[in-house]
Amino acid sequence: MAAGGFCKLPNGTVVVALNLPSPAAGPTGSVRFLVHAGNRARALTRLRNLGLRAVYLRGNAAPPSPDEITAVLHHPDGLIWRTAPGSGVLAGTAPAVELWHPIRALLGRPTAPA
């Protein structure tokens, strides 16, 4: 079961945040996805179309923070990810802040030349 949540924006669109287990980081690691879409169903469909088939949003336990909303709204794809805060970090150490990545970086798709 994935933790996640959503936030409805004043223009009617939503930002959905989901924490999903990361196969690369082992049993304790997870990845946080942010999706900007017209509604919750469309946001989940965007993730399912990328191969994340068993993605469901039940409840609003971990809604996106204002900083996360800003990050996804300023990204041209409207779909970003990073390692979830506190996953795989040794106790007592301050984790480095990881930047957000476009979904292409996770899926191994080449990026368009600038």
Q: Show pLDDT as tens, one digit a residue, over the chain (114 residues).
A: 468 899 999 999 999 999 888 766 566 678 889 999 999 999 999 989 988 888 888 889 889 999 999 999 999 989 999 887 765 444 444 456 788 888 877 766 555 554
Q: How far is CA 15 from CA 6, 12, 54, 68, in A?
A: 6, 10, 19, 9
CA-based nearest residue to 29, from 97, 91, 99, 86: 86
- For the residues of 66-111, what is the DSSP string, one character each? HHHHHHHHTSSSSEEEEEPTTSSPPTTSPPPPPPPEEHHHHHTPPP
For residues 5 and 94, give the distance between their C-alpha atoms in angstroms, rounded to a whole number. 25
Q: Which residues pair with 83 in a beta bridge?
A: 31
Which one, of 15, 21, 53, lies nearest residue 34 by Cα?
Answer: 15
